[in-house]
Amino acid sequence: MTHTSPANADGPGLFHGAFTALVTPFTKDGSTIDLDRLEAQIEFQSQGGVSGIVLCGTTGESPTLTADEFRAVVERGVTAGKQHKLTVIVGTGSNCTAKAIEAHRLAHAAGADASLQVNPYYNKPSQEGLCRHFEAIADSCDLPIMLYNIPGRTGVALNAATIERLGKHAHIQAIKDATGGLELADETRRRTNLAILSGDDPMTLPLMSIGAVGVVSVISNIVPDRVAELCRAALRGDWNEARSIHDELLPLARGLLSLDTNPVPVKTAMRLLNRDNGTVRLPLCEGCDRVEQGVRQLITPLMKQRGPAGPAATRSMSGCVTG
């Protein structure tokens, strides 16, 4: 299988721009996945002009998907993404290296462009353990890898020396930085050729100002066009336009990532905009009245500006997968 050229090649690379961390749409009772709605959401992202999508990430509630559901989302999502000429990245990380390799190979076989590999969570490996984990995955097939450094979720962080070592592997080509600051990303930029992407919507502009090339975004589930334009403006050096869009999006970005655990607020927003039914799976649960009121306040301007969702976002629920 032929993949897009590495991120550090001349010109725009595989990982440049806005990538939407897609929610996984469930039926109302949460028992099955609505694959038709997934396709509609991918079409909406394409219409918004994003560079690509990320399937089965944190926002996609990947820990709650069965093996069969994971395969179904990957296969249908890759097919739909390719039809819309989107780059498709699949979250295949695990705190079990063997499971991560299995999922990584599945994504490769399905035709994904890359995988997203989160730090192994809960078991807290050393830096040497982290290196060996990611190197084993990278050695398992030729699918490009985006590392995902999010210590707030995983309890362990990649340090600069480890990132530098991993960046020498031909298949490890990018890193999603969700550390909440600029220091490590700046160090990564100076010590590696990895494509750096923001993993936190409020940090997209700050990180791109020091050399990041895009974002894996939650809020682009709702406003893909604005997140995509923010990235395009920053990449072409139009910082006035980028700052203007940043200022426009910052209340939404902060609110949706602080009112409740992601993806509860964004799924609530999508329900209010008629783009999803808002269902999340246990151990997550729907937001309280305070959360819904907060989300409603954040998206009221969008509801007024954009009107109700179009046919692609409201298509009937069918073609579901049994969990």
CATH of the domain at 177: 3.20.20.70
Q: Is the pLDDT of residue 6 over 50?
A: no
Name the amino acid, one letter, at 209: S
Report if residue 51 sits inside a domain: yes
Cα(201)–Cα(209) distance, rounded to whole angstroms? 14
In a domain, 12, yes or no: no
pLDDT over 50 (residue 317): no
69-73, 191-195, 257-261: least confidently modelled range: 257-261
Quick one: pLDDT band at residue 12, thresholds 50, 70, 90?
low
Average pLDDT, the chain: 91
The answer to whether residue 2 is domain-embedded is no
Q: Is residue 7 part of a domain?
A: no
Give the domain extent around 22. Answer: 17-306+313-322
Residue 65, in any domain of the structure: yes
Share of the chain above pLDDT 90, in %: 87
Residue 323 pLDDT more than 70?
no
Domain count, the chain: 1
pLDDT above 70 (res 22): yes
pLDDT at 1 > cutoff 70: no
Is residue 195 in a domain?
A: yes
Name the more confident of 154 and 78. 78
Res. 3: pLDDT tops 90: no
For 257, residues 6+ apart whose C-beta sits below 8 A from its C-beta are: 200, 201, 202, 218, 265
Catalytically active residues, by annotation:
148, 176
- When pLDDT is averaged across residues 111-116 and rounded to a whole number, the result is 98
Q: Please, which residues bridge with residue 52 across strands?
A: 19, 87
Whether residue 223 is contained in a domain is answered as yes
Q: For residue 6, tell me if it sits in a domain.
A: no
CA–CA gap between residue 164 and residue 265 (Å, rounded): 35
| pLDDT band, residue 306 (cuts 50/70/90) | low
In terms of Cβ atoms closer than 10 Å to its own Cβ (0-12, 13-18, 19+), residue 230 is buried
Give the chain as a 3 state SS string: CCCCCCCCCCCCCCCCEEEEECCCCECCCCCEEEHHHHHHHHHHHHHHCCCEEEECCCCCCHHHCCHHHHHHHHHHHHHHHHHCCCEEEEECCCCCHHHHHHHHHHHHHHCCCEEEEECCCCCCCCHHHHHHHHHHHHHHCCCCEEEEECHHHHCCCCCHHHHHHHCCCCCEEEEEECCCCCHHHHHHHHHCCCEEEECCHHHHHHHHHCCCCEEEECHHHCCHHHHHHHHHHHHCCCHHHHHHHHHHHHHHHHHHCCCCCCCHHHHHHHHHCCCCCCCCCCCCCCCCHHHHHHHHHHHHHHHHHHCCCCHHHHCCCCCEEEC
Average pLDDT over residues 168-197: 97
- pLDDT for position 183: 96
CA distances from 97 to 92, 154, 242 (A): 10, 15, 39
- Predicted TM-score (pTM) of this structure: 0.90
